[in-house]
């Protein structure tokens, strides 16, 4: 029917705002599809606090709501706080300061813990796909594969290389490693998008480090 409105789709993302900013970047870069209107709201403005509320809304009003479950996100606009940021952005900040101040880089734990990391821009591309094409109510895990799980030590080595840090790296084994493995399966995602290409890890980390250095004064930290 001419003039009929398409269903409204809503995606709620948590965190420091990096995912929403990355999605906005992807939409602006690639352009909206015909008939699409994109609206970006902060959680405060949107007042969306519960995934269950969203799923109930879908049932009651016929709107298409779902939830996505990403693994460890990183990228520009992250929270780089050393005290309460996630592991990768916190290590970016630590390494930046160690290079700037000419000190050793201290890493908590042994570096043996394993994690899956997803670049915020890759997650944004997947979120755009979810909004356009994913029709299930059940949440979907958005993550690199289990085979791309990395040790914290490997992550440190990549960040050190990205910054060109040449000082000593000290692992404080008196501090806990936390949970050693938190593996998530992206089998469902690969069923839908078998050829989706994630940004190479070094490229993504280098872009994140460069952004943090260039925006140090204003970056959340």
Residue 139's pLDDT band, with cuts at 50, 70 and 90, is confident
Q: Specify if 3 maps to a domain.
A: no
Residue 57's pLDDT band, with cuts at 50, 70 and 90, is low
Q: Specify if 2 maps to a domain.
A: no
Q: Specify if 40 maps to a domain.
A: yes
Task: Provide the domain limits for residue 74.
Answer: 9-214
CATH of the domain at 171: 3.40.50.720
Q: Which of 10-24, 48-62, 83-97 has the lowest mean pLDDT?
A: 48-62
CA distances 209 to 121, 145, 148, 164, Å, are: 14, 23, 20, 11
CA distance 28 to 44: 23
* Tens-digit pLDDT profile for residues 169-181: 999 999 998 888 8
What is this structure's pTM? Answer: 0.78
81: left (phi over 0), alpha (psi -120 to 50) or beta: beta
Q: Specify if 151 maps to a domain.
A: yes
Instruction: Name the domain count of the chain.
Output: 1
Residue 53 is predicted with a pLDDT of: 58
Residue 136 is predicted with a pLDDT of: 86
Which pair of tokens denotes residue 144?
């690199």
Q: How many residues does the chain have?
A: 221
């Amino acid at each position: 029917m001419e003039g009929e409105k398409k269903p409204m789709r809503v995606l709620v993302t948590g965190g420091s705002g990096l995912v929403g900013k990355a999605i906005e970047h992807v939409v602006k870069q690639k352009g909206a599809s015909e008939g699409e209107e994109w609206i970006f709201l902060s959680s405060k403005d949107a007042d969306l606090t519960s995934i269950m509320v969203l799923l109930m809304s879908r049932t009651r009003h016929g709107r298409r709501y779902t939830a996505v479950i990403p693994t460890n996100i990183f990228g520009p606009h992250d929270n780089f706080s050393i005290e309460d940021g996630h592991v990768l952005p916190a290590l970016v900040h630590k390494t930046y300061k160690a290079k700037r101040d000419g000190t050793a880089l201290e890493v908590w734990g042994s570096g043996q813990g394993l994690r899956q990391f997803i670049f915020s821009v890759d997650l944004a591309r997947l979120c755009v796909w979810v909004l356009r094409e994913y029709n299930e109510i059940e949440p979907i895990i958005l993550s690199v594969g289990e085979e791309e799980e990395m040790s914290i030590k490997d992550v440190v080595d990549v960040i050190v290389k990205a910054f060109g840090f040449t000082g000593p790296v000290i692992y404080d084994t008196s501090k806990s490693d936390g949970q050693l493995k938190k593996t998530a399966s992206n089998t469902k995602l690969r069923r839908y998008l078998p050829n989706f290409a994630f940004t190479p890890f070094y490229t993504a980390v280098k872009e994140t480090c460069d952004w943090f250095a260039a925006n140090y004064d204003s970056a959340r930290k």
